[in-house]
Chains A and B, each alone.
Chain A
Amino acid sequence: MDTAILIFKIVMVVSVVLLHVAYVVYFERKVIGHMQARLGPMRVGWHGLLQPIADFIKLFFKEDIIPFSADKPIFFIAPVIGVIAALGSFAVIPLWDGFIIADINIGILFILALSSVGAYSIILAGWASNSKYSFLGGLRSSAQVISYEIAMGLSIVGVIMQSGSASLSDIVNAQADGPFIFTQFIGFFVFLMSALAETNRVPFDMPEAETELVAGYATEYSGMRFGLFFMAEYAGMFVMSSLAAICFFGGWRGPDFWIFSHVPGIFWFLLKVYAVIFFYFWIRATLPRYRYDQLMSLGWKLFIPLALANIVITALWKLL
């Protein structure tokens, strides 16, 4: 019976997440459209609400082109790795109080591990395509992801120190007195920026930089395989936003007074997640892309020292 409930939970989370991922794309197009004084998608359905479904159908029925000189097994596996890594992370994310597929006590490390495995999807896609653009995209991404993973891991250490646990539920519970954003603002800043780089978002979207590399690692992919990359990227963004919401904004916890205490936790959680996602879109609409060496020196010379300083400060603060 337990197994049945578990499977039901998994199916539910995966399908809800996929739906969200589809509509995050819609949300992005709308937000950026309005920021650029356009309307965004308007044709399919009321205000273009059915656009993601139309996109999905289009991608699904497109011809699947495989380059002749590609390394086929790896070419096939690469996008799958990305999707699995991104969706797997949801197993340890508590959506509301008590709702979590697997409450393990190394939740954060699990997500970091999966995101580092996710990097393979890009590198391998770049290599297996056997094309310059893809390969350059893959190499750029491997260096970028490794560099920023360090900063990201270190930025969360402050949260772990403050809550005394690496389990995501415990971290949320430790924020009963107030979210960690007030004490961990340096950590939050580093985390947010590293998450942008980790998910290859603007201004750190070097691996796919359309203007220089066509579409980077995804150049040779088409149809549903390209769709999988797309899905993995947005799911990854969703994971990172959830992590930000949980570690710094108190996850499902909302204000505990008046009518607010009756609002279900999932509402607060999604509100925070979408606030972070909105921030991502905002940055995308605002900032130009970094140059590659700037990106690297930013990561190694600013974010990592900042994160380390944050750890030292947190440790001293804990000690006193």
Chain B
Amino acid sequence: MTLPQLFFAYFAVSITGLSLLVVTRKNPVHGVLWMLVLFVHIAMLYLFLNAEFLAAIQIIIYAGAILVLFLFVVMLLNLRVEETERRFQWSWPVGLVAAGGYAVSLIFILVKITVFPQPGHYTIEKMQTEGNLMIIGKVLYTKYLLPFEITSLILLVAIIGAVVLTKKKQE
């Protein structure tokens, strides 16, 4: 096993393990914290792929903003009472069977198939010379300008929604 493979193996195993930890913790705050560790690992995986911009954004947006809001909500709700109720727990065997079935079928398929790796436009050398940030900026604002602008519409709708659903009633 080469060093990159070893790194990848570590991340693959630990990301899977951490995801399991996230969903199995009884205390939701602990679950969210494991998710934080998970996000940091995912960011590392991006770094490993020479996508340092994505790594930074993963931490800033997901770990720094979204997860903090998660934590905020979880702390305010104080879910400790509800976790004992049966109606939140009966469905886990169904989920287990579904997820297990999916995993098994995916493994079977992956074993059978040979993927043809096609070198993409942006090779590692190009990324290193030009810089990930520069490349992403150029691609986003030229080739993918239209999807990028639509994303801004989606965010606008989310803002309108937040305002509509929370503003005080005007009488």
Contact = CB atoms under 8 A, between A and B. Distances in A.
A and B in direct contact, judged by CB atoms within 8 A: yes
A106 B56 contact: yes
A104 interface: yes
Nearest to B64: A116
B69 A110 contact: no
Interface in B103-138: 131-133
30 contacts: A74-B33, A105-B131, A105-B132, A105-B133, A106-B53, A106-B56, A106-B132, A109-B53, A109-B56, A110-B56, A113-B64, A116-B60, A116-B65, A116-B68, A117-B63, A117-B64, A119-B68, A120-B68, A123-B68, A124-B33, A127-B29, A127-B71, A135-B75, A138-B75, A139-B75, A139-B76, A142-B68, A142-B71, A149-B60, A153-B60
Contacts of A120: 36, 68
A308 interface: no
B59 interface: yes
Contact of B52 (A105, A116, A138, A142): A105
A142 B29 CA distance: 15
Interface string B66-81: 0011011001100000
Contacts of B145: none
A153 B53 CA distance: 14
A205 to B, nearest CB: 19
A200 to B, nearest CB: 15
Nearest to B29: A127
Contacts, number: 66
Interface string A31-64: 0000000000000000000000000000000000
B29 A146 contact: no
Contact of B57 (A109, A142, A145): A109
Nearest to A164: B134
B21 to A, nearest CB: 13
A138 B75 CA distance: 10
Interface of A: 71, 74, 104-106, 109-110, 112-113, 116-117, 119-120, 123-124, 127, 135, 138-139, 142-143, 145-146, 149, 153, 166
B47 to A, nearest CB: 10
Contacts of B72: 139, 142-143
A146 B68 contact: yes
Given A74-B33, A106-B133, A142-B68, A116 B56 contact: no
A146 B56 contact: no
Contacts of A74: 29-30, 33
Nearest to A135: B75
Contacts of A143: 72
B60 A112 contact: yes
Contacts of B53: 106, 109
B32 to A, nearest CB: 10
Contacts of A135: 75
A154 to B, nearest CB: 12
Contacts of A123: 68, 71, 75
Nearest to B128: A105
A107 to B, nearest CB: 10
